[in-house]
Amino acid sequence: MCGIVGIVAQRPVNQALYDALTVLQHRGQDAAGIVTWSDDGLHVRKSNGLVRDVFHQRHMLRLKGNVGMGHIRYPTAGSAQSAEAQPFYVNSPYGICLAHNGNLTNHDELAGLLIREDRRHLSTGSDSEVLLNVFAHELQHRCNGQPSPEQIFDAIEAVHRRCKGGYAVVAMIIGYGIVAFRDPNGIRPLVIGRRHAEDGDEFAVASESVALDALQFELLRDVLPGEAIFFENSGAMHSREYSGKTRYAPCIFEFVYFARPDSIVDGLSVYKSRLRMGEQLAGQIVREWPDHDIDVVIPIPDTSRTAAVQVAYHLGAKYREGFIKNRYIGRTFIMPGQAERAHSVRRKLNAIDLEFRGKNVLLVDDSIVRGTTSKQIIRLAREAGARKVYFASAAPPVRYPNVYGIDMPAASELIANGRSVEEIREIIGADRLIFQDLRGLIRSVRHNDSEIREFDTSCFSGEYVTEDVSTEYLQALERQRSDAAKSQRDQSDDNDDDDSADRVVFASVVEDDADAAINM
């Protein structure tokens, strides 16, 4: 999962891009990058690390211009020390920078075609670079001079025909403007904002509406599935809906875990969705366990708080904050590697003994993915003196890989894959385990008046909306992107410093002085 933002303004955008990325930091903590354009050229700063660590005053002063884009990343593919920080750049045609959120399911096929037939060079294993080169190739075939909005939109239609999977994209055509588009299934989110300025309107696109809120942009709407948007440097906005087949099926896991609760995604309130998840979950607990002996409901901070409040209310039980979170530890689900996730739990959470001692406790979490965190937290609750520890998930069991940009590609790493609820309960050590059912989750997220009629629920149901995900593909994905594979790549990088340095330079330099180079 990643976060993207692009801005065309009447004033310098460096601070606005920084602020937007900071607000989107929950979507990735591995790397960050900003690219801006001014009359004296292109300016870039990108590196591994959090936004606050990547950008210092000297970097911000060099990011000049009224047009720019940014990206924050965690490694769905690649290693934790990856040199594949975005945005990526190609110099033909015009010079194009691109960043994206999601995953191409036909990445390997496309990469081969780009090299063999389109005669384009790829310097990384990132599907974002593949997307960039597909777009650049299609645009080059349609433009001889200044690109028109129609030529840009034709190129994006060709991208949709060639690329499969889930993706939300922001790209900057150097000297002309910002382009944004979304996959024809609308899997990954993308919103448009506008702000009135003295010299004209300013526009922004971002992964979530909270980024627009922070910049005081008005949320106009979501980018539709397959739709393309072009913001000229002058401030003019153009759009075109995709002429091919579309299907509005946003990823439901955005509402379960990834999106911030104060975001509006595809016209749906994340906060209200999580409130309803709690209501639905409470109803399920009452149906399955009408004579429950729960004394207190305690959320596992932070994502599950909203649902846990409703669970407690509808069960007539006390709601208490039983865990104190160290806010300087990253989100464990998106940490690279199982060992790192397990090690971080005790550094991240500390139990308040008073709320556990001698009580039957219901712990509420948003979901259970690998089960490592759940097992550790249940152990913490027992050590704090809980008499019994029950566990409830606001989402159904995660049994299948997510192939559209969320880091759960290996079925063998999912605790629910091939296991019953009772088997999962035994592994995590709970006295009782309750999962939300899928129908309840869908009801929770979808408002009655929503235009959304379906969601990508593939990690729960095993049904993939792109209809191109085979057993062979999933097996190959597991070999490439499991924690074991990533660990092996990390070890290889550590043992080959010279090659690693070459890759860093070749992938458009990410060291401290990289931003001083105008030409990437």
Determine the Cα–Cα distance for residues 222 and 190; give it in Å rounded to an integer: 6
Extract the tokens encoding 284: 């399920």
Q: What percent of the chain has pLDDT over 90?
A: 78
Arithmetic mean of pLDDT, 381-409: 94
Whether pLDDT at 256 is above 60: yes
Name residues whose C-beta falls within 8 Å of residue 248's C-beta, 6 or more positions apart in sequence: 185, 186, 224, 225, 266, 451, 452, 453, 454
Q: Where residue 348 falls among pLDDT bands split at 50, 70, 90?
A: confident
Does the pLDDT value for residue 501 go beyond 60?
A: no
CB-side neighbour CA atoms (13 Å) of 242? 25
Q: Which of 512, 17, 455 is nearest to 256 (CA)?
A: 455
C-alpha 395/C-alpha 118 separation (Å) is 43
Q: What is the pLDDT of residue 381?
A: 97
Tokens representing residue 205 in the block: 């696109």
Longest distance between any two alpha carbons in the chain, whole Å: 75
Of how many residues is the chain composed? 520
Average pLDDT, the chain: 89
Single out the residue of 146, 45, 55 nearest to residue 520, CA to CA. Answer: 45
> 468-494 burial string, b = 16+ CB within 10 Å, else e?
ebeeebbeebbebbbbebbbebbeebe
Q: Phi/psi zone of residue 442: left (φ > 0), alpha (ψ -120 to 50 degrees), beta?
A: alpha
Beta carbons of 19 and 72 less than 8 angstroms apart: no
**pLDDT (mean) for 228-246:** 97
Q: Does residue 69 come out as left (phi exceeding 0), alpha (psi in the -120 to 50 range) or beta?
A: beta
| pLDDT tens string 171-220 | 999 999 999 999 999 999 999 999 999 888 999 999 999 999 999 999 99
Please say if the pLDDT value at position 78 is more than 50: no
Written as six digits, the tokens of 415 are 């605790």
Query: Given a cut of 90, is residue 105 above it in pLDDT?
Result: yes
What's phi and psi for 264, nearest 5 deg?
Answer: -110, 120
* pLDDT grade for 461, boundaries at 50, 70 and 90: very high
The arrangement of strands across the sheet holding 165-173 comes to 88-90, 96-104, 165-173, 177-182, 228-232, 237-240
Active-site pick, 2, 97, 251, 459: 2
Band of pLDDT at residue 346, cut at 50, 70 and 90: confident
Split at pLDDT 50, 70, 90, the class of 28 is very high
Query: Cα separation of 129 and 483, whole Å?
Result: 23
Per-residue pLDDT at 519 exceeds 50: no
**165 dihedral zone (left: phi>0; alpha: psi -120 to 50; beta):** left
CB 298 within 8 A of CB 355: yes
With beta carbons less than 8 A apart as the criterion, state whether 421 and 432 touch: no
Q: Could you give the CA distance from residue 146 to residue 70 in angstroms, rounded to a whole number?
A: 24
- Residue 253: which of 85, 404, 105 has the closest Cα? 404
Confidence category of residue 505, pLDDT binned at 50, 70, 90? very low
Reduce the DSSP state of residue 357 to 3 states and report it.
coil
pLDDT at 497 over 50: no
What is the model's pLDDT at position 169? 98
Q: Answer yes or no: 459 catalytic.
A: no
Q: How confident is the model over 254-272, as a mean pLDDT?
A: 96
Q: How far is CA 439 from the centre of its chain?
A: 24
Residues with Cβ within 8 Å of residue 184, at least 6 apart in sequence: 160, 225, 226, 242, 244, 245, 246, 247
296-299/360-365 β-pairing: parallel
pLDDT at 384 over 70: yes
DSSP 8-state assignment for residue 465: T
Q: Cβ neighbours of residue 417 under 8 Å, at least 6 residues apart?
A: 399, 400, 411
